[in-house]
Amino acid sequence: VSDATPLPIIRPDLRHEEVEADIRAILSSGILTGGPYVARFEAMLAERLGVGHVVATTSATTALHLALAVQGVGPGDEVLVSDFTFPASGNAIVELGAVPVPVDSRPDRFALDLDDARAKVTGRTRAIMAVHPFGQPVDGAGLAALAGDHGLAVVEDAACALGSSSAEGPCGSQFPGAFSFHPRKVVTTGEGGALSFRDGDLADRARRLRSHGGIAGEPGTVGLRFVENGYNYRLAEIPAALGLAQLRRLDEILADRQATARRYEERLADVEGVELRTPPEGDTWSYQSFVVVLADHVDRDALVASLRAEGIETTLGTYAMHAHPAFERFGLRPGDLPNSFRAQQQSLTLPLLPRMDDALVDRVVEALARLVPGAARG
């Protein structure tokens, strides 16, 4: 790749030859949804996570919505939610008429600060939605303790965390966990998601709500019986076939991302003004995104522009949800959650591509070492 070729942030790891036969088989069967590929995709994910049940959905957003709905979250309930996240997390709460209560990040981590969460519990708190940002696991033991102390339902927003794990096991396996298969994720189906469960009754209800709240096969009935008001959140067969092919290679995809991340970590360790977030002992990270934090004197947006001028795409890590107009009515002003706000302002996602050449990693590191000092705020 020459310096003139723009370096994107991520590229899906798709191989035509591994899906062609499946796509042909799906097209000739005429079964485009609700068929064997979705079933196999769900079974393979369940096995990988070590949970009994996986329900494939159209996105992580719809999976998060179902995860809250099946646990009985409804109008007026308060739901604690990681503030440093893609706002889909908060929107799933709002969709149910519930109230998102954003929780700050830890100062040294992107994941939520469980002490801040505990301080925000009220008599109306029903649930907590904990995000594993970029596949960096939250403290599962602390999360379980908080939920246990206050009788809270838990949802893991594992949108970015397929392949991540901590002492509690795979992310998204301890509690109902929502995964995303958007192209910015480690495994992609174009658009798509999944919801994992240990509990079979919750999984059955999620399946029913995924498909209009209907149940089939009741003795003496033709068609369905609609027992509650549901949605259409079903994943289709062709996307499931795409996902299945990548899932079979998941360990290889993860090892490749982890090796590239390690090279970044080694090379960036001495770069002035660039703060690294690295896995604590015992954690495995998916490195859905490789995200650094820039020192406060660095103008991140100016740096993004300078890197772009050199053909290197970068962007912010993710969002401080509370600081966006759509969440203003829940009572916080931009900056009220200072760690999450700083993470939004100073984080930078670097390119992490499949089988990324060492020379490309070095090119990004060299550009950062040269451009960060010049990007100091005036």
Ligand X SMILES: Cc1ncc(COP(=O)(O)O)c(C=O)c1O
Of 82-90, 167-175, 239-247, 305-313, which part binds ligand X (CB under 6 A)? Answer: 82-90
| Of 38, 46, 61, 294, the one binding ligand X by CB under 6 A | 61
Q: How far is the CB of 92 from ligand X (least distance, A)?
A: 8
180 binds ligand X (CB under 6 A): yes
| Out of 10, 66, 131, 235, the residue judged to bind ligand X by CB under 6 A | 131
Residues 6 or more apart from 57 whose CB is under 8 A from it? 63, 66, 192, 193, 194, 195, 210, 233, 234, 235
> Which span sits near ligand X by CB under 6 A: 71-79, 157-165, 270-278, 305-313?
157-165
For residue 168, the one-letter residue type is: E
Q: In whole angstroms, how close is the CB of 43 to ligand X at the nearest point?
A: 21
Q: Exactly one of 126, 132, 182, 185 is catalytic; which is it?
A: 185
Residues 224 and 212: their CA atoms lie apart, in Å, by 10
| Span near ligand X by CB under 6 A; candidates 17-25, 154-162, 211-219, 269-277 | 154-162
Please pick, from the candidates 12, 90, 100, 193, the single residue that binds ligand X as defined by CB under 6 A: 193
User: Under the criterion CB under 6 A, does residue 60 sit at the interface with ligand X?
Assistant: yes
Q: For residues 93 and 261, which CB has a smaller minimum distance to ligand X in the complex? A: 93
> How far is 59 from 297, CA to CA, in rounded Å?
37
Query: Does residue number 240 form part of the binding site for ligand X (CB under 6 A)?
Result: no
Q: How far is CA 253 from CA 51, 104, 136, 356, in A?
A: 22, 31, 17, 12
Q: Rounded to the nearest whole angstrom, what is the least distance from the CB of residue 184 to ligand X in the complex?
A: 6
Cα-based angle 83, 85, 87 (whole degrees, multiple of 5) = 90
C-beta of residue 178 within 8 angstroms of C-beta of residue 155 = yes
- Options 85, 125, 339, 346; binder of ligand X; rule CB under 6 A: 85
Q: How far is CA 109 from CA 137, 141, 341, in A?
A: 10, 16, 13
* Residue number with CB closer to ligand X (98 or 160): 160
Rounded to whole angstroms, the maximal C-alpha distance in the chain is: 76
Which distant-in-sequence residues (6+ apart) come within 8 Å of 334 by Cβ? 320, 322, 323, 341
Binding track, positions 88-127, relative to ligand X; x by CB under 6 A: xx--------------------------------------
**CB nearer ligand X, residue 61 or residue 174:** 61
Give the one residue of 46, 51, 81, 159 binding ligand X; rule: CB under 6 A. Answer: 159
* Minimum gap (Å) between residue 160 Cβ and ligand X: 5
Q: Alpha helices of 212-347 — where are they, by DSSP H?
A: 237-248, 250-268, 300-309, 338-346
Token pair for residue 340? 């999450």
Pick one of 67, 103, 112, 160: the residue that binds ligand X (CB under 6 A): 160
192, 144, 71, 182 alpha-carbon torsion, rounded to 10°: -10
Residue 271 and residue 368 in contact, taking contact as beta carbons nearer than 8 Å: yes
**Stretch binding ligand X (CB under 6 A), from 29-37, 86-94, 198-206, 365-373:** 86-94
- Pick from 77, 157, 256, 299 the residue near ligand X by CB under 6 A: 157
- Is 120 marked active-site? no
- Residue closer to ligand X (CB basis): 155 or 250: 155
Closest CA to 346 of 289, 302, 288: 302
As measured in angstroms, the least distance from the Cβ of 288 to ligand X is: 8
Give the rounded distance of the alpha carbon of 309 from its chain centre: 29
Asked if 191 and 181 count as a contact pair (C-beta separation under 8 A), the reply is: yes
Q: Which stretch binds ligand X (CB under 6 A): 8-16, 24-32, 153-161, 355-363?
A: 153-161
Q: How far apart are CA 60 and CA 244, in angstroms?
A: 17
Minimum distance from residue 154 beta carbon to ligand X (Å): 15
Residues that bind ligand X (CB under 6 A): 59-61, 85-86, 88-89, 131, 157, 159-160, 180, 182, 193
Query: Which are the catalytic amino acids?
Result: 185
